[in-house]
Amino acid sequence: MSYADLFNLPASPYFLSHSVGCLAKKSELSLAENFLTPWKLSGGDAWQNWLNTVDLFCTALGQLLNANSTDFCPQTNLSSGLTKWLMALPTHSHKIRKRKVLMHEDAFPSMGYVVKAMQPLGFELVLIPAAESAANIQTWQRYVHGDIHCVLATHVHSNTGQVSPIQSIAQLCRQQSCYFAVDVAQSAGILPIDLSLWDVDVVFGSSVKWLCGGPGAGFMWLNPQSIEQLTPMDVGWFSHNDPFAMEITDFQYANGAKRFWGGTPNIAPYALALGSLQTILNIGLKTIFAHNRRLIELFLQGVNEGLLHPVDLANMGGTLCLEMPATRSEAICQRLDSHNCYFDTRGNVMRLSFHIYNSEQEVALLTDVFNQQ
């Protein structure tokens, strides 16, 4: 059996894992076993099974990202997690009046929207121009300085494929006493990540892309060295140290990351995503990454010389982000559409992803499409 057999795949070539990863077959079983069946058999008594399922999801994340499972907190999406975290930061900093949040202009817009909406609370969005490479530490050195309250770096940028130098930025933030947050939505499940080495304050991620776990199963990881300094304002009974204590006058933050959880949690997305995470772990991230690189190299070797701008394989995520003249891009898109291929474009950039379920035959088709005159 090939790895592709572990996923439900469309009939046509699928190069869209940077948007939505294909459903792992084990996810359907996981949803039934860990969410639907306990509900059918136990009604309200299913809560213990459901919470165990979320714990298993966090354990799988810990295995994938080399971190303690207790330092993860489920979130509906990255934007929700960022909102909660910014509101929870200590207010005694000497820089609190400024609260400038630095992002690169190529960051996912949703994260910028969060900061813009929090202007009444004193937050201000500062953007590094898109023309300056996020992969270059010198870029960050020019913008990370004493009046920046927080830096949010995108690990892999969705429109360029560029990889930000996270550990170097982390060192820079420590030197300038800035909080440091990282968005791993486009890297978790394809690039190696070791949170024990990063030494950042918080990481936001999603299961919907390379992790193939669908929407709704987002997460945040919080540095255990600073968690007790954070006091979330958006809380609920699952933020409580004892959610089932049911004493309205006695709220105590959970000791770890779960203080960011909030009210009654959604369980189904995590039961579904658990199956995909287990599938990814069983295959092995090294295997997935090596397969991705082999297919990318195969494609680049087969494309006619001069057709594409140079691609820096050593500093890119799992997605080929190919910038081409509009006329050529339009012609290639039409040919891909004629083969019912799944892909997308952002402006003049075509995006193509190769996951473990993509094949050499699909890359050969892609190469032929690009080489046609």
For each successive 10 residues of the chain (373 residues), what is the average pLDDT? Answer: 94 97 98 98 95 98 97 97 95 64 96 96 95 96 93 96 96 95 98 96 98 97 94 93 87 93 96 98 98 96 76 90 86 93 90 97 95 82
Tokens of 192: 């190696």
Q: CA quadruple 345, 351, 356, 362: dihedral positive or negative?
A: positive
CA distances from 114 to 78, 84, 117, 145, 347 (A): 10, 10, 5, 22, 23
Question: pTM of this prediction?
Answer: 0.95
Burial class (CB in 10 A: 0-12, 13-18, 19+), 206: buried
Please report, for the chain, the start and end positions of each structural domain, with discontinuous segments joined by +.
Answer: 27-281, 284-371
Phi, psi of 102 (to 5 degrees): -95, 130
The distance of Cα 17 from the centroid of its chain, to the nearest Å, equals 12
Residue 305, pLDDT score: 65
Tally of CA atoms within 13 A in the half-sphere of 276 that contains its CB: 26
Residue 247, pLDDT score: 86
CA distances from 177 to 95, 151, 201, 223, 244 (A): 10, 10, 12, 16, 38
Residue 42, pLDDT score: 96
- Strand runs (DSSP E) across the chain, as ranges? 72-75, 100-104, 124-128, 148-154, 179-183, 202-205, 218-222, 319-323, 344-346, 349-353
3-state percent helix, strand, coil for the chain, nearest multiple of 5 = 45, 15, 40
Tally of CA atoms within 13 A in the half-sphere of 2 that contains its CB: 11
The answer to whether residues 371 and 308 touch, using CB atoms and an 8 Å cutoff, is no
Residues in the chain: 373
> Which of the 8 DSSP states describes residue 344?
E
Burial class (CB in 10 A: 0-12, 13-18, 19+), 207: buried
CA angle 355, 202, 151 (to 5 degrees): 100
Tally of CA atoms within 13 A in the half-sphere of 60 that contains its CB: 29
Q: Does the domain made of 284-371 have the CATH classification 3.90.1150.10?
A: yes
Distance CA 315, CA 160 (A): 11
Q: Is 308 left (phi over 0), alpha (psi -120 to 50) or beta?
A: beta
Distance CA 109, CA 115 (A): 10
Residue 97, pLDDT score: 58
CATH of the structural domain 27-281, one choice from 3.40.190.10, 3.60.150.10, 3.40.640.10, 3.30.420.10 = 3.40.640.10
**Residue among 85, 92, 182 nearest 134 (CA):** 182
Residue 94, pLDDT score: 46
